[in-house]
A and B are shown apart, each in its own frame.
Chain A
Amino acid sequence: MAVTRYTKMAYDCADDMVFGKAKQPVSYGFGLKIGAGEVIPEINYAPRPGTEKDAERLRKEYVDYISKDILNRAVTAGFPSVQLETEWVSQMNQAKLSAPVVAGQKEICEKYHEEYGVNCGTRQTIPDQREAEEGLRPGMGGSHAYPEKLFECAEIACENGADNLSCESVGGKEFADYAVTNGDIVAFLFGVGYLGSIDMTYIWQEFADIAKKNKCVAGGDTNCSGANVSMFMAGGFLDNDVQKTFSAVTRCISAARTLAAWEAGAVGPDKDCGYEGIICKAIAGKPTAQEGKNCQCAHCDLQGNLIAQCCDLWSNESVEYHPEFGGTSVQCWFGSIAYEAALMNCATQMGQEKTLRDLYMYTDRFRGPEGYVLAYDNAYKVGQAIAENGNDLYLRSRAAGLTGAKIILEGYESKKLGLTNKQLETLQDIIKKLEALPEDTDKFYEYCVKEYKDTVPLFNPKSYDL
């Protein structure tokens, strides 16, 4: 699949973006139309511990219990559409475990579509188990052969009926882990912005080909392994292991990486846990999945309402399957996201979508720096910085980080956004460090290789074809 970098914005202005509508909607599954005017709930789940031990138990858990419960609840409560997301557990890298699940979910979706008219389909998110120490590319000799398994999983998913092929890839994670724990924004820029984008470009060209061959839609990716780790460690107001200004800037950088999947042939929607999706949507016009206030079963963040502002799928992130008072956990959390989607779709029908979008956005705009920079008007500016430097993976990532950092600083200086002393100090240090970096990619690469030789020993240039 050819790679086409984005060098201009899909939207003429930030105000043109709204939830449920994307410039380039995508259709798949049984009647699902993503970004074509309605927000669709996307429910994600984890099987109970122990069910992974044999293929039939796992199939039964995913298909006969989880999927059936969700689709029944759709009919019970009158929800017209649902996307099921199966994030494969690690054991599903064996076809004997994964193929029956994928095929079974396809079959049950078809049944509910035919019998009740529920618009539905599945996103199969395959596991990226590649380890930096063994190498990220096939043939690098790791004992687990994880790179080979990654592409085998894509084949299994697409051949057995996945509607949307997605992944949470780990390229650049060896630097991201170091960067987040040590507060090193340059390491994050190098690992996620530069190396991660190279890796994404490579794997998504392959995924897009596999998906096309099997008439499956290549959805997208996320920087869950980097920017989300950063966000979770920045935590709520009681946590703060990582500074929230640091986390916010990592989010901006991650957008340049997540975008690479779409440049390499994926068409969307991307993954819900990519909070950077708003920036990517602004650039590419492809539909984005998001999660926030209705994913409290999985984690808490500080932009739970805001992040719904321009979503096309609205997700619960993930919930372990178990009983609750209101039904099974998947039914309860499906109800939560589906009612939220119904509110958004009602707003659209009544011509109030921009009002609701802005209410979502303002609710969390000042709750913290990450929400502030992800508010759609600011996210659009970060997107512009990426597009203006679109052909250079390093420069566009750096521009994203620097633009995001300056937006936050400007918000603070204009007394709109509050920051603690430590958050401000970290932000100023980030700006100083990003501004001091070379303008030339080769020089940046040489600098980083030398700088992180001892501190990130797992880095192997061959993993990135360098």
Chain B
Amino acid sequence: MLSCEGADFSKVLKRYDIDLQVEMTPQEMAAKLLPADPVFHKVAEEVMYMRFKTVGPVVAQAIKERDPLDVINKGLVAGMEIVAKLYAEHVYYLPEIMMAAKTMEIGIALAEKQVPGGRESKATIVMHAAEGDPHDIGKNIAAVMMRSSGYTVIDMGRDVPVVDAVAKVEEVKPLFISGTALMTTTMTAFPAEAKMLKDKGYNTPVMGCGGAVNREYANSYDLGIYSEKAPQTPLIAQKLLDGYDWQKIREEWDNIVGE
């Protein structure tokens, strides 16, 4: 093997990850973000530190002292919002998001039993991986992020026939349906679904996502909108809730998903 003695590899490569890493700890960042109320503070901490084994007793105690809906919104959801901020700042990464979301869901399931009529979700969305496509890891991540953002997610799984996806939209009338595809020949399911929906008189956006799909493709069929990465999906969903239709989502896409 050649010797690399004397070689200056800083002339060959640059480790941006090391040079630009965030030195602040989650604890230091969270100190500024956690709720002031001691009960909500404690609940939010459970989510933030992903304590899925102890979140149950903490929430059980909290709903004795505070309104259950407040425990959800000002404790559990607030904790998840901190996690999202830490993720955006590259202090937390995907595993922390997944575990924090799991922790939050345990807490919500417990608290919402005490909410008369149950907790109201922002909207229902349908998610699936395209017909013939077994790759669904991106969908699963996006589903976690949507649930964490307060949406009811109907996850149809992978390799979902076009007709089944359309039937589900007819049945539950979601805010939008999203599909993922990793292959150029399976992503053709999305325009097929969109056409069937349009023919039936639905204006439900059909979000195309996944490794094979790009913005140009998702925008090539009526009803089509695009999400490049899982964290963008709640941002787009919020705009649909605000009254945007699929055309306006396309027009303002850069601003909606922009940093």
Contact = CB atoms under 8 A, between A and B. Distances in A.
A72 interface: no
B18 A419 contact: yes
Contacts of B90: 240
Interface string A62-78: 00000000000000000
Interface residues of A, number: 53
Interface in B21-39: 21, 23
26 contacts: A47-B184, A89-B185, A90-B133, A91-B185, A129-B134, A129-B159, A130-B134, A131-B159, A170-B134, A177-B137, A181-B94, A181-B137, A181-B140, A233-B94, A237-B15, A237-B16, A240-B90, A358-B1, A362-B2, A362-B4, A362-B7, A366-B15, A367-B13, A377-B1, A418-B18, A421-B21
A418 B141 CA distance: 29
Given A91-B132, A420-B17, A422-B21, A182 B93 contact: no
Most buried by B among A14, A47, A182, A355: A182
A392 interface: no
Nearest to A133: B157
Contact of B98 (A51, A53, A182, A368): A182
Contacts of B17: 237, 240, 244, 368, 420, 423
B94 A242 contact: yes
Nearest to A87: B183
Given A365-B4, A418-B15, 18 more contacts: A47-B184, A49-B185, A49-B188, A52-B188, A89-B186, A131-B158, A170-B134, A181-B94, A240-B90, A242-B93, A243-B93, A320-B184, A355-B2, A358-B1, A358-B2, A368-B17, A420-B18, A421-B23
A238 B136 CA distance: 23
A183 interface: yes
Contacts of B217: 49
A182 B9 contact: no
A363 interface: yes
A144 interface: yes
Contacts of B94: 181, 183, 233, 241-242
A366 B9 contact: yes
Contacts of A89: 183-186
Cβ-closest 3 pairs across A and B: A183-B95, A90-B132, A241-B94
A90 B185 contact: yes
Contacts of A422: 21, 93
A47 B13 contact: no
Contacts, number: 106
By size class, the interface of chain B is 35 or more
A34 interface: no
Interface of A: 14-15, 46-53, 89-91, 129-131, 133, 144, 170, 177, 180-184, 229, 233, 237-238, 240-244, 320, 354-355, 358-359, 362-368, 377, 418-423
A181 B1 contact: no
B99 interface: yes
Contact of B137 (A91, A130, A229, A244): A229
Contacts of B99: 182
Contacts of B47: none
B187 interface: yes
Interface string B137-159: 10011000000000000000111
